[in-house]
Amino acid sequence: MERKKHLLTSALLAVILLLTFIPVVPVKGSSSGYKSRIYNFYINGNMAGWEGVVREMELYLKQAPDATLIKNELLGYYYGLAGYLISQKEKKSASAFVAKGESIIAELLAKEPGNANTTAYQAAFLGFRIGINNLRAMTLGMKSAELSKAAYLKDSLDPQVVTERANVLYYSPSFAGGDKQEAMRLYQKAVMLLERGNMTKGNWFYLSLLTNIARLLEESGDLMQTEALYKKILQTEPGYRWVRDELYPSLQSRL
């Protein structure tokens, strides 16, 4: 049992680190004006700027507490920020943003119980809780997996839902239902959904999803496919610093 707990904890912590670079899909139809700024901060690796936008949105919501689209968009930004802070070992700050995100999740689920998109967030934020304190890794990890599965069964065409399910499958050990092959299929499905839905332009989630797939391919030793994906990413966004200045040059040194 202790060995299984350790494996599950390690797998879920790997998801936390992954989420630093995989924010969730922005809400379709959002016209808040924050999205382009977050995108620019993302491609430049500026998390201080990201947090600044979050603060602005919080102030806005104090004046307009019923702005549901803004709340949903803010939830996605809490997601990205919390993952980053956990990866930087800033657990106290991360905990504050996790709590804020969970507050929005509870409010959204009260209005629309079982919503697939919100349930996927719920699964992810449980993962953050494990990253902050892994004493409940076994319980929270299984609950997170259950929620991601329920969300996917409810809506298998939502890129965020599909990606969250893939995260759980890829990083969970086999005894907890992990399946790397199925996870890679789902990551590719999420990419397809974004491309067919014309949701790729100025979309930080799309870039991060492609980057994640490339990193997993590189980890598996498929360097040619990795290079092809890095080229695709830089064709989409030449200014994406993490890929342009670090990941792609590192790969080229190995080819």
Render pLDDT for 227-247 as a digit per residue (tens, 0 to 9): 999 999 999 999 999 999 999
* Euclidean distance between CA atoms 123 and 102, whole angstroms: 10
pTM of the prediction? 0.84
CATH of segment(s) 2-197: 1.25.40
Residue with tokens 């499905």: 189
**Tokens 């993952």 belong to residue:** 83
103 alpha carbon, distance to own chain's centre? 18
Any residues with CB less than 8 A from the CB of 13 and at least 6 apart, and which? 130, 131, 134
Residues above pLDDT 90, as percent of the chain: 74
In this prediction, residue 154 has a pLDDT band, given cuts at 50, 70 and 90, of very high
pLDDT at 32: 56
User: Model confidence over 178-217: pLDDT tens digits?
Assistant: 899 999 999 999 999 999 999 999 998 899 899 999 999 9
Average pLDDT over residues 63-83: 92
pLDDT for res 171:
83
